[in-house]
Amino acid sequence: LSSSLRETFRKITGSSYIDKNVIKEMIRDIQRALLKADVNVKLTLDLSRKIEERSENEKPPAGMTPQDYILKIVYEELLAILGKSSNLKIQPQTIMLVGLYGQGKTTTAGKLARFFIKKGLSTGFVACDVHRPAAFEQLRTLSEQTGAKFFGIKGEKNPVKIFNQSIEELKDIQVKIVDTSGRDSLDSDLLDEITKLKKAVNPDEVLLVIDATVGQQAGPQAKSLMDATGLTGVIITKMDGTGKAGGALSAVAQTGVPVYMIGTGEHLEDFEIFSPKKFLGRLLGMGDPEALLDVAQEADISDEKAEETMTKIMSGKFNLMDMYDIWEKFAKPSLMKRLFDSIPVGKMPKGASNMLDLDAAQEKIGKYTVILDSMTYKELENPEIINAKVIRRVSRGSGTQEQDVRNLLKEFRAMKENAKMMKGNRALKKMMRGQM
Ligand code: GDP
Ligand code: MG
């Protein structure tokens, strides 16, 4: 999965033009990846339709190639499903946890308690899982581990009764967490029980606890619970496992509520605030979705800034400081590639072909940035004063080889040469503004 999708992205960034067939092929790859990650079929089709429609109808903004723009669309559409990110409020409140059996509700109750207690809010549990005998003890143990107050009535079968009696007991507690029953599947009895309990509790948050390994069933389940309780948020558990959480994505799409937190293990501290970017990286099988993110960020570079930088490069007057500036702000592999692609093959500076390998490019940029960091302003502004002695100092200061520093300087000179060559190259200027 991961390699095939990554391959597609590479294909896309690698092709110098883009046609309908390329788009179609890419969309098929995306569909395959999403389905493999257990995103449900309807959502997958909706998504790919939207991506296709947008890639056909929208024009990339200035400074962006059509290829990059498609990547950006994919990312944006996925991000849109995750909704606007939102955090659990750190304030007194009542939280009810709902979800199927074994999804991690009780464990999450413990994690939430630890989370709120650390923030200085007194926290208490109400044990309203009346179906699983072990649930009572499990929650009581968690209360001992976290310092949360515990309320439960052993043997009581009516969760509404339990909650009502907890009110007096927990009246001084700021955050109340109500643990509820689950089943293997959502039957009408369970939905009925949860609906009644929700009415009695009148919670500020009703959180769906869903396991990252839940597949195609996640969507319909979430919808039933949404209808019964009016969910306000989602917590995805078992993100430490192999599940790609496509089911969870379907659930989120179905309910339109934000994902607040994720569970990343069995222990109380294995709990993180949800990051849409990380989540998408996992979903798409890209451990690190930086390539996509870079594309998304590139769109934020204003035309003006791009123009300014181009003018500087073209002027032939640019120094290491400018190079630093460019690399910091613009050294996105796709931009680098565009730049190097524009250089006639025979004139390609030695070593520059490495830049075509995006991973290598990123590594190199990282190294070069450290080297530039070790130079003085005077050196950055007047690279010609950099002699063997300076090279030695800089290599030591940056923890790199002297050869690395020399390579950087060589590339700088080549870039400067190329800049002169590019001067007056209108086709290139036009391309850099994304008009081709
Ligand atoms: P409930 O039936 O919904 O209350 O689920 P439990 O809280 O009892 O959890 C079911 C199982 O999942 C337990 O063995 C937990 O230790 C485990 N579990 C819960 N959350 C996580 C998590 O984030 N990661 C992992 N690896 N296991 C988890
Ligand atoms: Mg439980």
Provide residues with CB under 6 Å of ligand 1.
99, 101-107, 182, 209, 237-238, 240-241, 263-266, 270
Tell me: pLDDT of 177 over 90. Answer: yes
pLDDT category at 144 given cuts 50, 70, 90 is very high
Question: Does the domain spanning 93-273 belong to CATH 3.40.50.300?
Answer: yes
Between CA 82 and CA 252 the distance in angstroms is 7
Between CA 259 and CA 234 the distance in angstroms is 5
C-alpha triplet 334, 339, 341: angle, nearest 5°: 90
Q: What is the pLDDT, as a whole number, of residue 263?
A: 94
Q: How far does residue 145's CA lie from ligand 1's centre (Å)?
A: 16
Q: What percent of the chain has pLDDT over 70?
A: 72
Tens-digit pLDDT profile for residues 293-347:
454 454 444 445 556 666 666 666 677 877 776 665 555 555 555 544 544 444 4
The CATH 1.10.260.30 domain(s) of the chain lie at 303-432
The CATH 3.40.50.300 domain(s) of the chain lie at 93-273
Which has more confidence, 327 or 86?
86
What is the separation of C-alpha 387 from the centre of its chain, rounded to a whole number of angstroms? 44
The CATH 1.20.120.140 domain(s) of the chain lie at 2-83+290-298
**Architecture of the domain spanning 303-432:** Orthogonal Bundle (1.10)
Among 107, 129, 208, 242, residue to substitute to test ligand 1 (most atoms within 8 Å of Cβ): 107
Q: How far does residue 177's CA lie from ligand 2's centre (Å)?
A: 12
Ion ligand 2 neighbours (CB, 5 A) are: 105-106, 135
Instruction: Domain 2-83+290-298: give its CATH superfamily.
Output: SRP54, nucleotide-binding domain (1.20.120.140)
